[in-house]
A and B are shown apart, each in its own frame.
Chain A
């Protein structure tokens, strides 16, 4: 089961850069939405990792799982959507406003 929750803005969010090594995967990861891209577009994390999507564009975006397992509300500038990936697997998602924007979360042990 995927657990979904919103973090308070004050919650600690660690920046994440570069391709993830599984053994190095932090427990909290941020995917920044900027210039109509999810950055980084693909992350590999351990089960239980909290992923925060943060919109840095001046236009709303959203995060929609292609298999409809999760879907954020519209994220206006500065808004965040956070969820915990507990199950292993690959989760491909896109922006509900601009479907050419795609990303992937790979969850594995």
Chain B
């Protein structure tokens, strides 16, 4: 479904242009052209938001149940994040959540998360983070809730208006001393899943931990991520969306654009800028500037998806 599907043949009405401009005003918008990220002006933003494409939302690392000094009210900031999503002009087609929905996989945390996130009124496609699989059944609680149409530990794919979305699980079967892991079974499934897609199909892959070795010293990467990325090389447009590191990072490699998202719960330090990863305590007035939500716009005919990050501090 397109959020601008008003049947006027793809033209851009003044109202919609204004909506998109308002949207752009809430954060920095980057697009990638020829492998080089460029910041777009308002007009470019309006065009990228287009009439015939669609938008979707990414939230991540809501850690419902977290109450440590870095953010004693993680439920409140999730609620604020959902309010930001609900206020987005033009209804997003759906939301993805890139894991660590809960802090400790407790039923009450899953319940609270479902209720808060449900406030968006959007369909949500989840992948688990390592914090979502620490129940007694080692992931049973997550799969019972969100694994209905998924394979294995919770991976799946779906299509939206010509874009192929793949949700991967890289927090199961992690090896001692290692990082995230996809595993042979999931990689075989992925190879098979992508076989049916033409090179020109835009692909969006989402998973909790970054798929490339972003900062192995802190375990920020996926041991067998390269195998998945090799399968994606033939596609003209690949967007990889992750969470886990609770901060914005961007990288472009060939036709593949990688983005990590902010958390809605607490920030983590920049790679190597602290003794370790983990919740980062910042002055209370700075917290919301480091938490946020993301919208992604797909416009047909454009090789790249437009990614806009909005912090909770943004108006």
Contact = CB atoms under 8 A, between A and B. Distances in A.
A99 B278 contact: no
A101 B70 CA distance: 22
Contacts of B68: 58-59, 77
Interface centre among B104, B175, B176, B219 (most CB of A within 10 A): B176
Given A96-B134, A98-B219, A100-B179, A59 B279 contact: yes
Given A57-B278, A58-B69, A74 B134 contact: yes
B176 A102 contact: yes
A36 to B, nearest CB: 4
B4 interface: no
Contacts of B178: 99-100
Contacts of A100: 177-179, 216-219
A96 B177 CA distance: 10
A60 B104 contact: yes
B134 A99 contact: no
B131 interface: yes
B130 interface: yes
What secondary structure prevails in chain A residues at the interface with B?
Answer: loop
Contacts, number: 61
Given A58-B69, A59-B278, A99 B131 contact: no
Contacts of A35: 275-276, 278
Contacts of B294: none
B177 A97 contact: no
Contacts of A59: 68, 278-279
Interface centre among B105, B216, B218, B276 (most CB of A within 10 A): B276
B279 A76 contact: no
29 contacts: A35-B275, A35-B278, A36-B218, A57-B278, A58-B68, A58-B70, A58-B278, A58-B279, A59-B279, A60-B103, A60-B131, A60-B134, A62-B134, A73-B134, A74-B104, A74-B105, A76-B104, A96-B130, A96-B134, A96-B174, A97-B130, A97-B131, A98-B219, A99-B174, A99-B175, A99-B176, A99-B177, A100-B177, A102-B177
